[in-house]
Chain A
Amino acid sequence: MGSADHGERRSEIADGVLLLSEARTVEHGRENSTATKDGAIDGAVSVRRLVKRYGDLVAVDDLSFDVAPGEFFGFLGPNGAGKTTTINAIVGLATFQSGSISVFGADAVKEFRSARSYIGLSPQEFNFDRYLTVEEILVYQAGYYGIPPSRATPRALELLEQFELTDKRRATYLQLSGGFKRRLALARALVHEPKLLILDEPTAGLDVELRIELWEFLRRINAGGMTVFLTSHYLEEVELLCSRIGIINHGKLVALENKDTLIAKHGQGSLQDVFLELVGRHVSR
């Protein structure tokens, strides 16, 4: 995650996380193949008939989809379509009126401890604690997940090293540049070694070089077994990284397919064309 001449360094970063992911993939393999009471196979994320209303506004309307373990899933939609609301419901930031969500088989409400411990979230907006240093942000976050400082501190130092944040460890997040803040958000999402990484606009505000480095990093951790759930307005990013794509509009799923099938089905050149065809009629242009 550094400049161009840090290619080797980037590989080390990704390899470090890759090893952790591989170890966890082995551990998780058994869980991934277990069946729920209704006979469905547990997915990394299973959303069933989710409804979320804000007063009279239906933000998410009877939404159902699955993300398979190890998948790189893209979740798209125009502004206000219900993407962030859905993510918020998955991670526990939003309540919902009906439906169910499970994460690696754990119900997001009834078994919230397991479900939440499987998820690492890198949110769109920076939401770091201003009273903590960069290192403390990681150690405290691990603490909230039940990891004692004796284990959290070495893990935090390892991530700081991997994301080239070691020399910023005593800074507060307000002293970091946009690129370093994004790295910190990613390091924080990984500090408790989740199985599922949810990224909400992870490259927003990053320059091209940093964006490409992040893509490379995400590909590597996904190759190592980490399930990645990505939402982004950069459609070329989604097209490049994701194997399967869901498109939501007005709270309803309008497409859910393998990326290549989705593009081929609509007979056009790029994901952007498909996206505009599916949601464009609802968007003021």
Chain B
Amino acid sequence: MSNWIGFATIVRREFKRTMMTINQVVWPPVITTLLFLFIFGVGLGSTLRQMDGVPYVQFLLPGLVMLNVIASSYDEAASSLFQQRFQLSIQELLIAPLSDLELLLGYLTGSILRGIVIGALIMLLGLLVVHLEPRHGLVLFYFMFVTALLFSSVGMIGALLAKTFDNLAIVTTFFITPLTYVGGVFSSIQILPPIVHQASLFNPMLYMVDGLRFGYIGRSDVSPLIDATIVTLLAVAAFIIAFWMVHRGVNLRV
């Protein structure tokens, strides 16, 4: 990478875009999380039993962090790149002396930062509202980072393949949201019936939520090493596919 300023300019542009849409992309996940914490902590807290040996609200929080890291990083990459394709402003970057890698990393960095910042804001809420501090900070950060990389790359792939804004919603509506919700965000897979438990092991979101939960509260359903291996492999694969598509100029260069 030699055009560092070009790369930094893309990241700066992504940050500016996030700040200009702050009421759409930053505050909603924060407020939704606050409502979850209120409902499951204050509202239903006394009626819910512990999950995995910790109060339910503490079990829930890592899942909510991961839910929002996934949604934010995907959404930033997908909507930003697709909008630029749609409005042709992507041409400003394509005619500039930026390599395919610089272009890709610029978008990915912007999306990863958004995912991590929103995840950190939710963790800050956790600290203030439920007084929950991360057990293994580095592990937690690793899972946030690799998952954000994975879904930023998926967002890039989606943005390059999409023909309409509606196409972008397919990934979120039919894959990301349902898989995340049944991926151990709200309950441990240990309490599921055996067949559902086995089926859950094929859900990639489980390993992201589980790994982050280990970093956050020190408990997991699966080995953190297995979690890390699966999530890392998926992230590397998604990155390679996204790079290949940018390099081939799929729906970028005619």
Interface residues of A (CB under 8 A from B): 54, 85, 88, 91-95, 112-114, 116-117, 119, 121, 123, 125-132, 136, 140-141, 143-148, 188
B249 and A116 contact, CB distance less than 8 A: no
A93 and B92 contact, CB distance less than 8 A: no
The answer to the question of B34 belonging to the interface, with a C-beta cut-off of 8 Å to chain A, is no
CB-CB < 8 A to B10: which residues of A?
144
A116 and B96 contact, CB distance less than 8 A: yes
With contact pairs A129-B89, A132-B16 given, residues A146 and B3 touching in the complex (Cβ less than 8 Å): yes
With contact pairs A143-B5, A143-B9, A148-B5 given, residues A131 and B254 touching in the complex (Cβ less than 8 Å): no
With contact pairs A88-B254, A146-B6 given, residues A123 and B91 touching in the complex (Cβ less than 8 Å): yes
B92 and A129 contact, CB distance less than 8 A: yes
From residue A138, how far is it (CB to closest CB) to chain B in Å? 11
User: Can you name 15 A-B pairs with beta carbons within 8 Å?
Assistant: A54-B254, A91-B95, A93-B95, A112-B99, A127-B88, A128-B89, A131-B13, A131-B16, A132-B13, A136-B16, A143-B9, A144-B9, A145-B6, A146-B4, A146-B6
A144 and B91 contact, CB distance less than 8 A: no
From residue B160, how far is it (CB to closest CB) to chain A in Å? 15
A95 and B9 contact, CB distance less than 8 A: no
Cross-interface CB contact of A127 among B6, B83, B91, B96, cutoff 8 Å: B91
CB-CB < 8 A to A132: which residues of B?
13, 16
CB-CB < 8 A to A188: which residues of B?
92
Interface residues of B (CB under 8 A from A): 2-6, 8-10, 12-13, 16-17, 20, 83-84, 87-89, 91-99, 249, 253-254
CB-CB < 8 A to B92: which residues of A?
127-129, 140-141, 144, 188
Pairs A-B, 6 closest by C-beta atoms = A143-B9, A144-B96, A127-B88, A113-B97, A129-B89, A116-B97
B5 and A93 contact, CB distance less than 8 A: no
CB-CB < 8 A to B91: which residues of A?
93, 123, 127
Cross-interface CB contact of A146 among B5, B89, B249, cutoff 8 Å: B5
CB-CB < 8 A to A126: which residues of B?
88
Residue of A nearest to B96 (CB): A144
With contact pairs A113-B97, A131-B13, A144-B96 given, residues A125 and B5 touching in the complex (Cβ less than 8 Å): no
Q: Could you list 13 further interchain pairs (A-B, Cβ under 8 angstroms) beyond the known A129-B13, A144-B10, A146-B3?
A: A95-B249, A121-B95, A128-B89, A129-B87, A129-B89, A131-B13, A131-B16, A132-B16, A140-B12, A143-B8, A144-B96, A145-B96, A147-B5
* Complex alpha-carbon distance, A126 and B91, angstroms: 10
From residue B236, how far is it (CB to closest CB) to chain A in Å? 26
A140 and B13 contact, CB distance less than 8 A: yes
* Complex alpha-carbon distance, A95 and B250, angstroms: 11
From residue A195, how far is it (CB to closest CB) to chain B in Å? 14
* Complex alpha-carbon distance, A41 and B191, angstroms: 76
* Complex alpha-carbon distance, A95 and B99, angstroms: 14
B253 and A117 contact, CB distance less than 8 A: no
B94 and A92 contact, CB distance less than 8 A: yes
A144 and B98 contact, CB distance less than 8 A: yes
With contact pairs A88-B254, A93-B91, A127-B92 given, residues A146 and B13 touching in the complex (Cβ less than 8 Å): no
B98 and A143 contact, CB distance less than 8 A: no
Residue of A nearest to B88 (CB): A127
A93 and B253 contact, CB distance less than 8 A: yes
CB-CB < 8 A to A95: which residues of B?
249, 253-254
* Complex alpha-carbon distance, A144 and B253, angstroms: 17
CB-CB < 8 A to A113: which residues of B?
2-3, 97, 99
A144 and B2 contact, CB distance less than 8 A: no
